[in-house]
Structure 1
Amino acid sequence: MPTPGPVNESAPHADPAMDPAEILTSRLEQLRNRDYMKTVLQRALDDLSPRTVEVRDFEITYCKVKPWRDVSLALSVDSHYGHSGDSCRQFVSGSMWASLDDARTHWREEVASAADGFEGDQGHDARARASAVFVPELATVLRLFPADSVLTGLGPATDLASMTALLSESLPECRDEGWRMRDLEVEPVHYKPARLCTLRYSLTLDHPTGGESRRVHLFGKVYRDNRWEQSYETLATTSNAAAASGGAWHAARPIAVVPEWRFLVQSAVPGERFRQALADLTVDDARPDQLRQVAGHLEAVARAVRSMQRAPVAQGPRLDFAALFAAQQRNLDYLGGVHDGTARELERLRREIERVAAATPASDLVLSHGDFAHGNVMLHGNEVGIIDFDRMGQAEPAYDVAYFLTHLTSFTLRHPRRAAHMRPLCDHFRAAYLELAPEVSPRRLALYEALDLSAYVLRNFRKQSHQARWLKWASGQIESAWERLDHAARVGRDS
């Protein structure tokens, strides 16, 4: 198996005495060198791609750091085909190791495993054997999607013939009413190598009598283990709960499941993501009618999350304050090995959060989405959809609301000129929800906001700390958490 070129002698080589976290941090710095990374990707695709391509640009779409072990990467690569000049987009996954020996060992294991699958297949293109390439100067293994040694279901889940057969049997319109499907397309929309991949399927359905056609969108998920079983059960439960909400919120329904692939297919919740609507309507010079529209959307989201919390569903883990607080300790330890100053400030903040929590009465636990970010809320006219319940559990009602507000705060930090719009809108959302949930005190909500703002820094550290602007963003999150704690103190004095 050829490597993507000789070792770059100008690249930093790890000192064996260095801490593994420091080694990975130095390797992550190389990802910021766009010209260097384009060269690396070009060499890799020369071996991996079945057609000759010329790399033009790339985007890191996923980066998960395990500071004492490895970094998992997903990259979207924009290229041109060498002969035709047509543009194309390819997806590359990578595993970056602290140790060069570890990286080489894993590469050899992947290549051997892939070669076993081609034994006796003399007619197969030799390029298929290049399932992974080794980049020694980064101690990294790169693969071309859908090759993934853990998510083995990606192969059949992205095969158009296999998926056409599955969907023709599983879609109610095809199975029960005789509609015929055609023009199936598939693309990855969220890829976490060796962990989870979400795929979007687009297809056309033709009525059996002719004259009527419609375009349909579906989503599929390939899992690394048997979590598909819990996800399928969760889909069924939440779709039933949404159907019983009287239109307050909508959710996806299960369509098909293939245990051998660790794979399930679900319907698409219509509309656009809340975060996109927010970006479009809160421009620097937003008109009053645009801001009123956002306020109306926020009121609808408040009604939706309140209705969801009232659903009689007792599934999922216990996500009380103690569990949520303890869950980030390991990430805090990771952060301390890379950004000691930020970690110490978070430790001080968390001590104060813990003190305020002890003095603030808790609410009973209810159904919780567990990941109620503005990207998991859909807007379709006046209707609200909620997607991705994979982290569903039982939590205080303030948790999901605070989680949503954390993402609004993060949006404001990334777009500081919009703060004049966003701060009143956040206050409007808080007031709209608290009016619907009188058992939730403003102080408890502010406490949960501080908790989740601090937790978001720790969650985000392992995904985004390779970005140069991360430290500034993290400081803003921590400052916002202190502001919410100050608000909790003021509310406590007033009451």
Structure 2
Amino acid sequence: MHDVPVDPALPALRDLLSPEGAPDLAAELAERCGARVHAEAARVSYVRYRPTRGCDVLWTFPAADGQPVWVAGKMAADAARFTASSSFQRSAEKVKEARGIETAPYVLLADRRLLLQIFPLDARLPGLALAADSRWSGEAVRQRLALSEDEWRLTEVVPLHYKPGRRCVLRYAVDRRGRPARYFGKVFRDDRGAPMVERLRAVRSQLLASHAHWDVAVPAAYVPEASMLVLEGLEACDELSPLVRKSVSDPKARETLRAYIVGAAEGLRAFQKLAVEGLESVGPRDVLSQYDAEFEGIRHVAPSLADAIRVQLQALDEAALRLPREDLVVGHGAFRYNQFLVREDTLIVLDLDALQMAGRGADAGEFLAYFDLVALRRPHLRPAVRECQQVFLGAILQHPHVDPRWLAWHRAASLVKWTHRTFLSLDTRWPELTERLLRLAEHALGDSPACTGVPESC
């Protein structure tokens, strides 16, 4: 059960996240659209709450064929406006055609200010219905790659990761010149993917020339009609996240993980030297101002949390004024261990759509802070987390231009970010986790640069 605040602007919010009621409505829509699901098996797999403004929820229903059924709920005061748009209706018709149904693939519950949509219909991702349609996407991607029908044939589309209203990753299984191949499509809600093909190619060529043992997924094409970036598949790669879990009890896995963490720190130095045009500059003031849009809403529904966040933001602002100016370098923007795949001795860095010019300590601070978050959410991983933080910090501080004070600042700022995101996800433990994250932020900002661990008191 989620811990849901009272929000006068969204009176049905508690019902939306209740085990009773909302899953039944989502299951009814799924069944009308031809899916066989059971409401009692529904799981809330994603929540993005915007205090006083709205909430996005994703219900996941297990299915007999192995591919889950997704139904997204969008709660907003103006939910009806989405169904009135021509792009939404075109997407709805595309989904009806693809699913072979006559009924609408959505339900508008005006009294609850709630719009339910079955995947791949998404009011904020109008390109998703196209990208998920095997006939349309197969032809569109083939043309963008300038290949003939004999050279490229799409055989399967599998949705992998989906955040309603934000983005979706699809895996395309392809017969390419008689051999199986994989591609990935990343669907955005805007055209941010358009410049990424050339940008990622430039990043990759420079990384390979640096001999940093880093690589990126090869960008293949951009499909503007679907707002989709297409990437070539990565063969023989493993995720780094399972290795973190395994290292808790496996000494060999622990040694392997240590080597990869050192590689992340050493590769970051080469990454920051890249020359990438057209990136937005993000300084300390920009980092702190990102909370402004949601802050007033949080104050209305969780005033104590808002006050605690404001205190920490003020401390960060004052600390930044006391520090010398920090150089801006190429930054990943979401630098965490789960953004890496591994292939032999090479780290494959993912999700480069947030590339920016940021402070030299920004990515490293984010890396450490995410480990802090993992340790709080999964205490059984704390031994592995502590070791990873120590190894990473030891390696990153060998870089002559890294200022430990700015590293601590960015770590604290990232912890405030995770406080904010934890609340907006309405995590079942958000009251506890947000309090502990803010204590960690205070500790990181005021402690010595050598601090690596998660204090037991936090």
> TM-score interval w.r.t. the shorter chain?
0.7 to 0.9
> Following the alignment from structure 2 to structure 1, what is the Cα–Cα distance between the partners of residues 413 and 191?
31
1:366 alignment partner in structure 2: 329
Unaligned stretches of 5+ residues in structure 1: 1-18, 81-85, 208-212
> Following the alignment from structure 2 to structure 1, what is the Cα–Cα distance between the partners of residues 133 and 245?
35
The alpha-carbon distance between structure 1 residues 33 and 137, as it changes in their structure 2 partners (threshold 3 A), is farther
Q: Which amino acid aligns with 1:232?
A: V
After superposition, the CA RMSD in angstroms is 3.2
Whether contact under 8 Å (2:58, 2:71) holds in the other structure is yes
Whether contact under 8 Å (2:75, 2:114) holds in the other structure is yes
Q: Which amino acid aligns with 1:274?
A: L
The alpha-carbon distance between structure 1 residues 342 and 147, as it changes in their structure 2 partners (threshold 3 A), is same
Whether contact under 8 Å (1:55, 1:78) holds in the other structure is no
1:90 lines up with 2:60 in the alignment:
no
Q: Which amino acid aligns with 2:377?
A: R
- Per-residue displacement from partner, 1:323-347 (whole Å, max 9, x unpaired)? 1122223333332222222221222
> Following the alignment from structure 1 to structure 2, what is the Cα–Cα distance between the partners of residues 203 and 124?
19
1:458 lines up with 2:420 in the alignment:
yes
Whether contact under 8 Å (2:334, 2:363) holds in the other structure is yes
Q: Which amino acid aligns with 2:185?
A: G
Q: Which amino acid aligns with 2:415?
A: L
Q: Which amino acid aligns with 1:280?
A: K
2:404 alignment partner in structure 1: 442
1:146 alignment partner in structure 2: 120
Shift of 1:399: 0.1
Shift of 1:431: 1.1
> Following the alignment from structure 1 to structure 2, what is the Cα–Cα distance between the partners of residues 124 and 426?
48
Q: Which amino acid aligns with 1:158?
A: A
Q: Identify the match of residue 258 of structure 1 among 211, 219, 223.
A: 223
1:188 lines up with 2:159 in the alignment:
yes
1:44 lines up with 2:29 in the alignment:
yes
Bigger shift: residues 161-170 or 144-153 = 161-170
The alpha-carbon distance between structure 1 residues 228 and 20, as it changes in their structure 2 partners (threshold 3 A), is farther
- Per-residue displacement from partner, 1:410-435 (whole Å, max 9, x unpaired)? 11111223323422321221110111
1:145-294 matches, within 5 Å, as 145-169=119-143, 180-181=151-152, 184-205=155-176, 207=178, 213=179, 215-270=180-235, 271-282=237-248, 286-294=249-257
2:89 alignment partner in structure 1: 114
The alpha-carbon distance between structure 1 residues 333 and 268, as it changes in their structure 2 partners (threshold 3 A), is farther
- Per-residue displacement from partner, 1:345-393 (whole Å, max 9, x unpaired)? 2222222222222222233111011111222222222211111111111
The alpha-carbon distance between structure 1 residues 114 and 183, as it changes in their structure 2 partners (threshold 3 A), is closer
Whether contact under 8 Å (1:198, 1:219) holds in the other structure is yes
Whether contact under 8 Å (1:115, 1:129) holds in the other structure is no
- 3-state DSSP of counterpart to 1:228: coil
Shift of 1:223: 2.7
Shift of 1:321: 1.3
> Following the alignment from structure 1 to structure 2, what is the Cα–Cα distance between the partners of residues 350 and 188?
38
> Following the alignment from structure 1 to structure 2, what is the Cα–Cα distance between the partners of residues 238 and 76?
36
The alpha-carbon distance between structure 1 residues 150 and 442, as it changes in their structure 2 partners (threshold 3 A), is closer
Q: Which amino acid aligns with 1:156?
A: L
Q: Identify the match of residue 68 of structure 1 among 52, 59, 75.
A: 52
Q: Which amino acid aligns with 1:387?
A: L
Q: Which amino acid aligns with 1:424?
A: E
Quick check: which has more Rg, 1 or 2?
A: 1
The alpha-carbon distance between structure 1 residues 143 and 118, as it changes in their structure 2 partners (threshold 3 A), is closer
> Following the alignment from structure 2 to structure 1, what is the Cα–Cα distance between the partners of residues 109 and 155?
35
Q: Identify the match of residue 444 of structure 2 among 484, 487, 494.
A: 484
- 3-state DSSP of counterpart to 1:310: coil
> Following the alignment from structure 1 to structure 2, what is the Cα–Cα distance between the partners of residues 124 and 88?
16
Bigger shift: residues 157-166 or 401-410 = 157-166
- 3-state DSSP of counterpart to 1:61: strand
Q: Which amino acid aligns with 1:216?
A: A
1:384 lines up with 2:347 in the alignment:
yes
> Following the alignment from structure 1 to structure 2, what is the Cα–Cα distance between the partners of residues 243 and 116?
40
- 3-state DSSP of counterpart to 1:33: coil
Shift of 1:219: 1.2
Q: How many correspondences in the alignment?
A: 444
> Following the alignment from structure 1 to structure 2, what is the Cα–Cα distance between the partners of residues 348 and 486?
14
Shift of 1:182: 5.3
Whether contact under 8 Å (1:353, 1:451) holds in the other structure is yes
Identical aligned residues as a percent: 23
> Following the alignment from structure 1 to structure 2, what is the Cα–Cα distance between the partners of residues 338 and 71?
14
Shift of 1:276: 3.0
1:300-311 matches, within 5 Å, as 300-311=263-274
TM-score, scaled to structure 2: 0.86
Q: Which amino acid aligns with 1:444?
A: W
Unaligned stretches of 5+ residues in structure 2: 452-458
Whether contact under 8 Å (2:193, 2:353) holds in the other structure is no
Shift of 1:129: 4.1
> Following the alignment from structure 1 to structure 2, what is the Cα–Cα distance between the partners of residues 276 and 490?
27
> Following the alignment from structure 2 to structure 1, what is the Cα–Cα distance between the partners of residues 206 and 442?
36
Shift of 1:409: 0.8
Whether contact under 8 Å (1:20, 1:68) holds in the other structure is no
